[in-house]
């Protein structure tokens, strides 16, 4: 899952990004409304964490433009504005949740996880696939109840494939989900992570099939 953090307070932006990366997400950061609008026009995200008080474009204008493009990406608004009318305006423009500053990172992580699950089709916190179960909140995979050692990117890869199980996921789409915007991996990086994941899932009879020229498919049990 790939997230965008839009926050002009650099220390807070880094803290949010670090906390979410520790949970296994790929995270991009921008610090102005213009940069946020550009990123959202050019890159698909699974969640946007959006401050309202931004340089260049106000956060509400970023949100308005996003929804005007018919994007349904979940948006969690962060703001120090306490006025009821500000919160109502944000929700009316299409925000999915609202978190006032100051806030606890643990609460932000919980709200972000809930919005991501809702955004990918209302998946439950635990996705079960035959003998395999992925707890998306705790970020742990289990086979027959025993935890499987999956580093962050393998866990993200598994989550994307599970959410789209039975359907082909393109290499480029996987690349965008697994790596931050400041990284420049090649498409062979996806092949490497798929190979590693396959070896760990084989004991559970879980098959990740290569569909030549298209991408990868997690076969239904």
Q: What percent of the chain has pLDDT over 90?
A: 47
> Does 150 have pLDDT greater than 80?
yes
User: Any idea of the CA torsion for 178, 156, 66, 34, to the nearest 10 degrees?
Assistant: -40
Distance of CA 74 to the CA centre of its chain: 10
- CB distance 19 to 11 below 8 Å: no
> Does 123 have pLDDT greater than 70?
no
Instruction: Say if strands 132-135 and 140-143 run parallel, antiparallel, or are unpaired.
Output: antiparallel
Q: What is the predicted pLDDT for the residue at 117?
A: 75
Segment 168-188 shows an average pLDDT of: 81
Where are the CATH 1.10.10.10 domain residues in the chain? 148-218
The edge-to-edge listing of strands for the beta sheet with 215-218 is: 168-170, 215-218, 208-211
Range with lowest mean pLDDT among 152-156, 179-183, 192-196, 213-217: 179-183
Which residues, in sequence order, are bridge partners of residue 6?
30, 50
d(CA 202, CA 204): 5
DSSP string computed for 77-123: EEES---HHHHHHHHHTT-SEEEESS--HHHHHHHHHHHHHHHTTS-
C-alpha gyration radius of the chain: 18
CATH class of 148-218: mainly alpha
Closest CA to 29 of 46, 6, 48: 6
- Model confidence at 217, pLDDT cuts 50, 70, 90, reads very high
pTM confidence score: 0.66
Segment 90-99 shows an average pLDDT of: 87
Q: What is the predicted pLDDT for the residue at 122?
A: 45
Which one of 2.60.40.420, 3.40.50.2300, 3.40.1180.10, 1.10.10.10 gives the CATH number of domain 2-119?
3.40.50.2300
Q: How many residues does the chain have?
A: 221
- Model confidence at 120, pLDDT cuts 50, 70, 90, reads low
> Does 119 have pLDDT greater than 70?
no
Q: What is the predicted pLDDT for the residue at 152?
A: 86
Q: What is the predicted pLDDT for the residue at 202?
A: 87
Residue 89 phi/psi, 5-degree rounding, is: -60, -45
Q: What is the predicted pLDDT for the residue at 57?
A: 92
Both tokens of 213, joined, read 């020229």
Where are the CATH 3.40.50.2300 domain residues in the chain? 2-119
d(CA 110, CA 66): 24
Q: What is the predicted pLDDT for the residue at 33?
A: 96
Summary mean pLDDT of the chain? 87
Residue-wise pLDDT for 11-69, tens only, equals 999 999 999 988 878 899 999 999 999 999 988 898 999 999 899 999 999 999 999 99
């Amino acid at each position: 899952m790939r997230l965008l953090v839009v926050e002009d307070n650099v220390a807070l932006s880094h803290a949010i990004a670090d906390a979410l990366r520790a949970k296994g997400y790929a995270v991009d950061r921008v610090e102005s409304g213009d940069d946020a609008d550009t990123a959202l026009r050019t890159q698909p995200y699974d969640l946007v964490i959006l401050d309202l008080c931004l340089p260049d474009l106000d956060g509400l204008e970023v949100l308005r433009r996003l929804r005007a493009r018919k994007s349904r990406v979940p948006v969690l608004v962060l703001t120090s504005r306490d006025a009821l009318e500000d919160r109502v305006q944000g929700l009316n423009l299409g925000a999915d949740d609202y978190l006032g500053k100051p806030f606890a990172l643990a609460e932000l992580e919980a709200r972000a996880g809930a919005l991501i699950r809702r955004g990918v089709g209302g998946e439950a916190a635990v996705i079960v696939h035959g003998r395999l179960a992925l707890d998306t909140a705790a970020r742990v995979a289990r086979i027959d109840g025993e935890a499987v050692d999956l580093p962050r990117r393998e866990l993200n890869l598994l989550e994307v494939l599970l959410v789209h199980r039975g359907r082909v996921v393109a290499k480029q789409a996987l690349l965008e989900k697994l790596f931050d915007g400041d990284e420049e991996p090649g498409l062979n990086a996806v092949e490497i992570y798929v190979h590693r994941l396959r070896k760990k899932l084989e004991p559970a009879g879980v098959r990740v099939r290569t569909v030549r020229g298209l991408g990868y498919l997690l076969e239904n049990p």
